[in-house]
Structure 1
């Protein structure tokens, strides 16, 4: 069995056992609460019969405190159970991905763009895409950041920093699982918490209160309690307590609309903020070794705060949950009577905002970085044979060197690795028969380059390349909305390729079977002219084609073009594909054999 699968299985069994124990404890506490209610009622009834008021009060408060303890304990256990259930989901998801099933994290459909220089051709985003395999981010910032890394090359320094962080994290399985479990509550959450908080902090409701309210919220509850206690000794204090109590209640009712507007926009994110706090605390508390991760952790300490930013998150979560207590009419009435609760919590949130706003908003960006490099680390851990590529400096002079390279989205049992170097040419012309592997090979180079430029490990035994401006011409489609035919779409894409090569010496093109939307003569002549134009522009890249005649271009440009091919072997009428890249032009084609396979015979001689 795969060692990685064994690791997940063992941890899954351990956590499943913990969840089972917690379920039993929660159920036991539920029964205990029921017993306290029923047994306590009987006990109080019995003590009433004894006509001992002190004993009745003692039993009542003892039962009340016992019930409160059981409620609190059950709440704590349920939080633990929810965490470990999320942990189980994280482990199950990794097992599912290894088994070829769907990743529960976002697949990046929002980033699909047919006009992008390469993402559509390389299946970077969408179902069964590279992003769908890589992504383990739950926050919008984390998802966006990872998508940006796959949409355009990072600079060499950032690539190496991502490699460094990924190397450290890949060996921290326990930390990664814990980190993912803490953030799983945010999975598929449509609300962008950072943007929401940023807008919320600018809301005019943050002008709530004045100097008198701030002063009275501190002294008013004390005055009320003193008047209430004094009324037991001096009857006139009862009138004072009554006036103060009515003032508190009426004032709270008068401001209920403003408090309600303040509360309604934020009362649903308290739990999510608590999960952010736990994830950030995991970053703060870990002893990182790599400079890259140390800097990310240090970002959370900037701003001159005297306490960790995770505590600030937890404070806000507590304040939101406290304010939410007003939604229970009777509890809210009691709390406002004694403590002016609504005003106290709103003012506390305003003070919190004034103290922590910028640091909290910045921490979302740091969390996104950790989520994104975490995705790269899990990718490497799940593919232990992958390697980190070497990034070269000069795209005009440095060459691609790949050993044992293959497409990372092809199942392991179907993988065929190839070697390739561009040391003696600038344009690789790849010919071959249908289904022999030409298009897959071009995508193999492209996808692994995209991974390399994001700082991820690649599907190869070794891979080195400079940072190219990658462009592709593969899946060209018509567009009925824009009244664009396939051939017009091809022309538009080819103009984009030529313009990019002309203006960017660091570009690298991947072209698969150009000009499919026209007749064979125009297709050949046009393809030949385009390749010659690319050579004249000092272009670098790969072209895959069925047109064997184009192989003659190698003789015209021996220093610039080199022929490669994928062929087939025919054994007793059966086609055998080895999917191995070979030098030279292809001599064997298979269209007639494929057509015979579906019952169509081709005439050998026409005339």
Structure 2
């Protein structure tokens, strides 16, 4: 058996990044030791130099600070590379597990479960073992929300679906870029709480630090200090004057220290978040795209005159500069000479005023790329899946070798299925466990995938976009004093009313009127089916009630019988899960009960 090329690629990438990670950690340790050496040696040499002359001491101190800052920057770069590499290892490990149907590392969107949605609850769109968890690789809150919206409210416009398909197709072939994008986002996931907190900061204002009075102080005192330092170096003024200026500056910093600390703490928490945004935008900027959606998005985010990445980098640079105060040695020198805290706060104020109105749009565009990245990852992991042909008019759906994507490949069964035109209702009969419900979900899930712009689990498929409505998993409600049967009737009423309004809907119903006796169920089902036929409804109905199959004779132009059969050999029951024409003739309740020792 030949190895799976997708799995092999993920294994190779994981091993390659594990080697790189070991190398980066060695480099990080070396930089740490070198930084300690520079700090100790620089301090000793500066002290010796001050013993000879003030000028040589100051120069020695400045050189030490300069080298120390270079090492801090290099340590930061190395640390960031380590985080990215660790994320890449994690990404490839998770994908290897996903190929074995272990999706525990991914978010299933349980907060999106809606019992009243048109179809999401019935087809396991969200939850622990859901389609969303199978697809979701998003690293931004906006991307997660958008992917959930695309699945739960699929579009029925051919042009938009085709545009997404084109983007997914292109991105699926850009594995290195996609994983790099995800690794950047995993640095600090751009979740919805972070976005909300950032917007609150952007829409606030530090009026005191924005005043002309503080701007004057922030520039006047450092300039005076530098001039005095030059005069001290040239011997015109004594060192004591420069020391007094530094002490005054530090006293001023101390007066506003509580306010400065609050601002620094607030923006410092956003540093990782904004660094992730910058890296995501910059990675998108560097890649060459051809599809119309990706190229238009790239222009909006990455124009040379107004680059989003450059704007965010500008803010990140301010935050990094502000963070230098965390090093007591550097913070003491910078604030004593330059009033560093004040300048950083003024730069923050200057940045955030225009950014407040632009950031939501930037994050929305990133979210679209992020959501498409998830669909592209699914496409890459399933090279045998086909991109459906989206058509306007013609057959509602035609599929060759249609299967359920969430089932393991070894046990997945494929069926051909076609809905030639609207107004057809397929009655699907079969014994217990014969495959009826799985087939209904197979059709529904692939329709959702197709209208989302993703490949489908089929050899070939064409689809005319249509709204989906299901009633498969109705539950009773004690809190609302509703019986199971009443809850199901409400669901059927919604479908009837929407058809009466003229909505074009593809419905999928599983064993309707389960909450009543067999005679009543058969009569009620036929009455409902006649009404749906009158309204021109299109859909699938799975049932154990083989009498419903007789409606094909009454409505030969509207009703088609399909079935799943079983083989019973004594007490042995076998299933092939293949869809056949006609009405089933074999039921298995008694055989199953005997097999389990119940009867």
| CA–CA separation in structure 2 for the residues paired with 1:203 and 1:359 | 15
Does the 8 A contact of 2:468 with 2:506 survive in 1? Answer: yes
Q: Are 1:309 and 1:359, in contact at CA under 8 Å, matched by a contact in 2?
A: no
Q: TM-score, normalised by structure 1?
A: 0.91
Secondary structure of 1:581 counterpart:
strand
Residue in structure 1 matched with residue 25 of structure 2 by the alignment = 23
Q: Secondary structure at the match of 1:126?
A: coil
Deviations 1:186-244 (A, max 9, x none): 34x65534333322221142663212322332332011121244346677776764664
| Contact 1:309-1:360 within 8 A present in 2 as well | no
Cα deviation for residue 475 of structure 1 reads 0.7
Q: Distance in 1 between matches of 2:10 and 2:334?
A: 49
Residue 346 of structure 2 is matched in structure 1 by: 347
Q: What's 1:3 paired with?
A: 5
Q: Could you tell me which residue of structure 2 aligns to residue 165 of structure 1?
A: 167
Q: Kindly tell me: are residues 53 and 260 of structure 1, through their superposed partners in 2, closer, same or farther at Cα, counting changes over 3 Å?
A: closer
Q: What is the 5 A alignment of 1:371-386? A: 371-386=370-385
Structure-2 separation of matches of 1:412 and 1:333: 64
Q: Distance in 2 between matches of 1:574 and 1:207?
A: 83
Q: How far has the Cα of 1:403 moved from its partner?
A: 1.0
Describe the SS at the equivalent of 2:166: helix
Say which is worse superposed, 475-484 or 250-259, in terms of deviation: 250-259
Provide, for residues 158-212 of structure 1, a one-character-per-residue CA deviation record: whole Å limited to 9, x for no partner.
111110001111111111111111111234x655343333222211426632123
Deviates more, 1:156-165 or 1:227-236: 227-236
Measured after TM superposition, the shift of residue 139 of structure 1 is 0.9
Change (3 A) 1:368 1:490: same
Match of 2:557, SS state, is coil
Q: TM-score, normalised by structure 2?
A: 0.92
User: Quick one: distance in 2 between partners of 1:586 and 1:103?
Assistant: 39
After TM superposition, the structure 1 = structure 2 runs for residues 33-44 of structure 1, keeping only pairs within 5 Å, are 33=35, 40=41
- Give the aligned partner of residue 275 of structure 2: 274
SS in 1 for 2:542: strand
SS at match of 1:20: helix
Output the CA distance in 2 between the equivalents of 1:421 and 1:307.
50
State whether residues 278 and 309 of structure 2, in contact with CA within 8 Å, keep that contact through their aligned partners in structure 1: yes
**Equivalent residue, structure 1, for 2:565:** 567
Q: Secondary structure at the match of 1:138?
A: coil
How far apart, CA to CA, are the structure 1 residues paired with 2:226 and 2:37?
A: 35
Give the distance between the partners of 1:327 and 1:62, measured in 2 at CA. Answer: 20
2:101 alignment counterpart = 100
CA RMSD of aligned residues (A): 2.9
Report deviation, 1:53: 11
Identify the range of structure 1 (245-254 vs 447-456) with the bigger mean alpha-carbon deviation.
245-254
Query: In 1, are the aligned partners of 2:83 and 2:187 still within 8 Å (CA)?
Result: no
Separation in 2, partners of 1:67, 1:201 = 33
Would the alpha carbon gap of residues 286 and 542 (structure 1) be closer, same or farther in structure 2, given more than 3 Å must change?
same
Contact conserved, 1:117 with 1:470, CA < 8 A, in 2?
yes
Q: Which residue of 1 aligns with 2:408?
A: 411
1:77, 1:256 → 2: CA distance? 32
Instruction: Please list, as runs of the form range in 1=range in 2, the aligned pairs for 1:63-462 lying within 5 A after superposition.
Output: 69-154=70-155, 155-187=157-189, 190-205=191-206, 208-231=209-232, 241=242, 244-301=245-302, 306-326=305-325, 331-394=330-393, 398-423=395-420, 426-462=424-460
Kept in 1: contact 2:387–2:454 (CA 8 A): yes
Pairs within 5 Å for 1:556-595? 556-595=554-593
Q: CA deviation at 1:307?
A: 4.5
Structure 1 CA distance for aligned equivalents of residues 201 and 37 of structure 2:
45
State the distance in 1 between where 2:32 and 2:242 align. Answer: 40
| Deviation, structure 1 residue 342 | 1.7
Distance 1:466 1:57, change over 3 A: closer
